Amino acid sequence: MDEYLAKSKTSGDIYRLLYYGASCSRQEISQTLDISLPTTTRCLNSLCNAGLVKSAGESQSTGGRKATLYEYVPQARYAAGIDITRNHLSIVLVDLGLNILDTRRLRIPFEASDQYFSTLAREYEDMISQNLPDRSCLLGTGISVPVLLGDDHKTINYATVIPLPFNIYSILSSYIHEPFLFFNDSNSAGLAESWRGHYTSSLIYLSLSSSVGGAYINGRTLYIGDHNRGCEFGHMALIPHGKKCYCGSYGCLDAYCTANALTDFTDGNLKEFFDILKTGNNQGIRNVFDSYLDYLAIAVNNLRMCFDCNIILGGNVGAYMADYLDLFRKKAIKLNPFENDGSFIHACHYRTEASAVGAAIYYIDQFVKNFPYEMQG
């Protein structure tokens, strides 16, 4: 690596300016960061030679000579993400811009067995080898799991949704030979939606899958709480003395708004549920969905009252909500004493890849924040 680039904090400042913002000219970079034009030019040359920055055409002329614009290169580095759920395994490879280079999704129930971990490792290795001849471009691999984690992102503190062994990190180390860490599934999905949607203000991500979870993101910062269990929305009391939740309590949101509340009527097949719903011919299915939305509206209104921010409906159910967003917004806004506009409620961008993409974000974030020193690690 260019010695000047490796030692220059200024090159890192320029790189972050281009990564987080739009393309800029040398003059704009110099003025924004208050550095001299010669220093700006030297840093840009080093960044371009390293393949991290490239020219991006010319600026609009206002009468003088057109200035060359520069932008970061998304394909300079990559990160992988793995999402382990009760019934599926998803693997993605993304570039620095969160563009998905490759994705795989297998319907495979989780079990702590050599067969399961060998399948995971085989699919992972096949994806990496097919797409990245140069493994030095891979920053690391984030693994999304529906558990509460320790600060080291290796220790499992609480796992009930899937029977994840508490020594899972050491087990997987025998199968995955690249750097990896664990991340909570809902937090990961929330980050992916926040980054992809370029949200600059706060947002709530509500995950509606085989369990209900969530995340609160302020800008690009994730709130995890004092004990790494912030935003466990699935265990908010929705109906006093209501249905029993898997946690042992009664009336939790999780007992009413998981994907299972819908798939119980279609032998576990969520796509079939929404296919039938779309025909409009099955009154029973329509009634089930209407009741589901009623419960979900209570939860969303409570979240809006607490956080007063955008709310994204995600997870497996959220992937189908775009077609029913107007209907749901009307239900939710009826409960809101302050607003008559439900446009703060959004359907998720990612359908099934959000948690895997979000888990990969950690390594991208570390690379960008710590550049150029991260390149020396």
Answer whether residue 322 is part of any domain: yes
Answer whether residue 154 is part of any domain: yes
Q: Residue 373 — φ and ψ, nearest 5°?
A: -65, -25
Both 208 and 324 in a single domain?
A: yes
Q: How far apart are CA 180 and CA 169, in angstroms?
A: 9
This prediction has a pTM of 0.86
Both 118 and 242 in a single domain?
A: no
Answer whether residue 193 is part of any domain: no
Both 329 and 214 in a single domain?
A: yes
Q: Residue 206 — φ and ψ, nearest 5°?
A: -110, 115
What are 325's two structure tokens?
């967003």
Sign of CA dihedral 174, 145, 323, 275: positive
Domain boundary among 72, 93, 122: 72
| Count of domains observed in the chain | 3
Domain of 33, in residue numbers = 3-72
Both 254 and 372 in a single domain?
A: no
Q: How far apart are CA 173 and CA 184, in angstroms?
A: 18
Characterize the bridge pairing of strands 53-58 and 221-223. unpaired
DSSP notation for 30-43: HHHHT--HHHHHHH
* Beta-bridge partners for 58: 68
Local structure of 169: helix, strand or coil: helix
Report CA dihedral (286, 288, 294, 297) to the nearest 10 degrees: -90
- Looking at residue 373, what is its pLDDT? 66
Q: How does pLDDT run along the chain (377 residues), one tens digit per residue? A: 455 554 468 899 999 999 998 899 999 999 999 999 999 999 999 999 999 999 988 877 565 678 899 999 999 999 999 999 988 899 999 999 999 999 999 999 999 999 999 999 999 999 999 999 899 999 999 999 988 888 899 988 888 888 888 899 999 999 999 999 999 999 999 999 988 876 768 999 999 988 899 999 987 788 888 887 889 999 999 999 999 999 899 999 999 999 999 999 999 999 999 999 999 999 999 999 999 999 999 999 999 999 999 999 999 999 999 999 999 999 999 999 999 999 999 999 988 899 999 999 999 999 999 988 655 44
Both 97 and 167 in a single domain?
A: yes
- Sheet containing 24-25, strands listed edge to edge, beginning at the edge strand earlier in sequence: 24-25, 68-72, 53-58
Residue position matching structure tokens 């607490």: 306
